[in-house]
Chains A and B, each alone.
Chain A
């Protein structure tokens, strides 16, 4: 009979795996017939089972103490109670800020597009409105004809005005004064071109010197009454600029004042500042542990 200590390592492994139910089907097919044939192997199996049973019967050693960790033991200190609150508030403010910027971008694009359309309408209206007094004066020339007579500089000036998005309404009120001042000028000009002078004055900002000269010369030939009529017509056609237009104009011309900022922009600045303040406080609280 084979003694326990005479078993090969392979047989020991087979028996051990068999006890734990970890033996493969193939190993099982090999072992079971041998257990029937070899009493020593069967005895070894029973002895091994007894060992496993006795090991499993060992009671758990009672713990001398709890092993839960304290902040001091692991070298950390708990964060301040307010930390999660500030963290949440910062996140919320940041989200609000991003939303505001997004809203501002969308609204801004829409506003620029609509303002562009309004501006071009105003410019066109001003262009159309200007020749009307000439017709009343009996010049017999249309605005288009007069326009043909002008040199390319005037056309360029108009394009630059439209391109710079400077509303003609801003310049229009000053136009009659300019015309009246030029009334004293001795050089007579064809009446058909006089009213066109109103248009060329708009191009003053663009520095078109020939246009200004042209306007001065032509405006001098208008009599005071007809000029006043022209001015009134233009004033009635072109409404005075609103606050939004002024703000927009100031924006586009680079002049800035706090009052000119839209509410949305002010909100952006406010919420952005809040995000910075809250973020700073959150970081500060994070370092302050209790």
Chain B
């Protein structure tokens, strides 16, 4: 994929070219939004809004990494949505049953792992739910760098471009995010299967 050519074409209004970029990055963008929003519907809405904003704001893209620029828009869209929710708390209709009872969807439970034994699947699902819960408890700034570096595999420089901060800030936030994750997982450690516990025995 010739990204520069596609970006140039998209800048001149070629929607097809932009959609090729969307196809390339939509999974990363959605997953980043999903970690922020913690529910698929909101993450999808935010991702869609971010792509629309990106298309309309292509004129402001001055070169460099298109992926970083795009994911920065996604991060900002997530922050905006979370701020909006904080001002006007609301519940999604999807979270209620026909009887009006609220559904609790544990994060990560929708992912299926075919070919695994049922007990393994349950253990893995519990661990995943615990990690996601701990991620969700992190301050947003810490969570962002943890998702970018540890989940999406960005290096420090690109993560710095996405969040618009110096590399030193990324290093510092990431170290503290990892530290807090460890504390959180240890708190929940009793709930985890023994082989996933981060105690001295499993590590050594």
Chain B residues in the interface with A (C-beta under 8 A)? 13, 15, 18-19, 22-23, 26-27, 29-31, 34, 40-41, 43-44, 47-48, 51-52, 55-56, 108, 110-111, 113, 127-128, 131-132, 135, 146, 149-151, 153, 155-156, 171-172, 174-176, 178-179, 181-183, 185, 196, 198, 200, 202-204
Q: Which residues of B contact A12 (CB under 8 A)?
A: 175-176, 178-179
The reply to whether A67 and B178 contact each other, CB–CB distance below 8 Å, is no
Q: Which residues of B contact A51 (CB under 8 A)?
A: 178, 181-182, 185, 198
**B51, B131, B179: the one within 8 Å of A58 (CB):** B131
24 example contacts (A-B, Cβ-Cβ < 8 A) are as follows: A4-B179, A5-B183, A13-B175, A20-B149, A43-B203, A48-B179, A50-B203, A51-B178, A51-B181, A51-B198, A52-B150, A55-B135, A55-B151, A58-B128, A61-B34, A61-B40, A61-B43, A61-B110, A67-B29, A67-B48, A67-B51, A68-B26, A69-B52, A71-B15
Least Cβ distance of A74 to chain B in Å? Answer: 5
Q: CA–CA, A55 to B135, complex, Å? A: 9
The reply to whether B176 and A56 contact each other, CB–CB distance below 8 Å, is no
Q: A12-B178, A20-B156, A67-B29 are in contact. Are A54 and B131 (CB under 8 A)?
A: yes
Q: A48-B182, A74-B52 are in contact. Are A55 and B131 (CB under 8 A)?
A: yes
Q: What 13 additional pairs, Cβ within 8 angstroms, besides A20-B149, A47-B203, A52-B150? A: A4-B182, A16-B171, A20-B156, A22-B171, A51-B182, A55-B151, A56-B150, A58-B128, A63-B44, A64-B41, A66-B26, A68-B26, A69-B15
Q: Which residues of A contact B178 (CB under 8 A)?
A: 12, 16, 48, 51-52
**A5, A17, A48: the one within 8 Å of B171 (CB):** A17
- Residue of B whose beta carbon sits closest to that of A21: B155
Determine the main DSSP class of A at the interface with B: helix
**A46, A56, A62, A76: the one within 8 Å of B203 (CB):** A46
Least Cβ distance of B114 to chain A in Å? Answer: 12
Q: CA–CA, A64 to B17, complex, Å? A: 22
Interface residues of A in 31-88 (CB under 8 A from B): 43, 46-48, 50-52, 54-56, 58-71, 73-74, 76, 78
Least Cβ distance of B20 to chain A in Å? Answer: 9
- Select the residue from A48, A54, A67 with max chain B CB neighbours within 10 A: A67
The reply to whether A55 and B183 contact each other, CB–CB distance below 8 Å, is no
Q: Which residues of A contact B26 (CB under 8 A)?
A: 63, 66-68
Q: CA–CA, A60 to B43, complex, Å? A: 13
**B15, B27, B128: the one within 8 Å of A76 (CB):** B15
